[in-house]
Structure 1
Amino acid sequence: MLDHTGRYRTRYEDTLRALGHYLDQHRFTRIAVIETPEGFLIKGYIAASGRDEEHFALAPETLLFTDEDLRQLLEEAYRRRGTGGGNSSSSTR
């Protein structure tokens, strides 16, 4: 995947860190990450509340993060960390 300029490859560390944050936020567990030509395919389970506070149900989930999805996750990660990642005057969605 190329960075916001389209000239340089994005580091795996940054991409996987941003992806990991998303998976943590959505309570994924038992995760498989598969790189495809389209991006990253994620297979795992989402921990959902069960019948009481001590029990959880695991729901299977499969997601495809395209290069555009990953670019968006990276922009959010750079904003959280305050390290830029793009033009400071870029869009404010």
Structure 2
Amino acid sequence: MVWGPSAAYMVDVMHARSVECIAGNAGLRSALMAIGVGTILPMINSWGVVVTNTLASSMAIIGFALLWCLIKYGDELRAVVDVGFSPSGSSVTP
């Protein structure tokens, strides 16, 4: 559930390169899902359902915490890193 808001944030920050942001997000999501599916079934077989669910819920809580920090400190993060794009979507010329 973290990928959708993260993609929206990237589009918000980099208007002129929004297509690249969405493509990168989709590619990373697909790669991580492939790795996840390839590791979940062997993990269930070797460690059991409880340990696997505990690890998955821990990762979900970490993702929630990162997303919460991004929402809470988003303005400060945008101020620290100037990516060279204006809020209107046109590139800033120096």
| Normalised TM-score (structure 1) | 0.28
| Normalised TM-score (structure 2) | 0.28
Structure with higher Rg: it is: 2
Structure richer in strand, relative to its length: 1
Structure richer in helix, relative to its length: 2
Q: Higher relative contact order at CA 8 Å, sep ≥6: structure 1 or structure 2?
A: 2
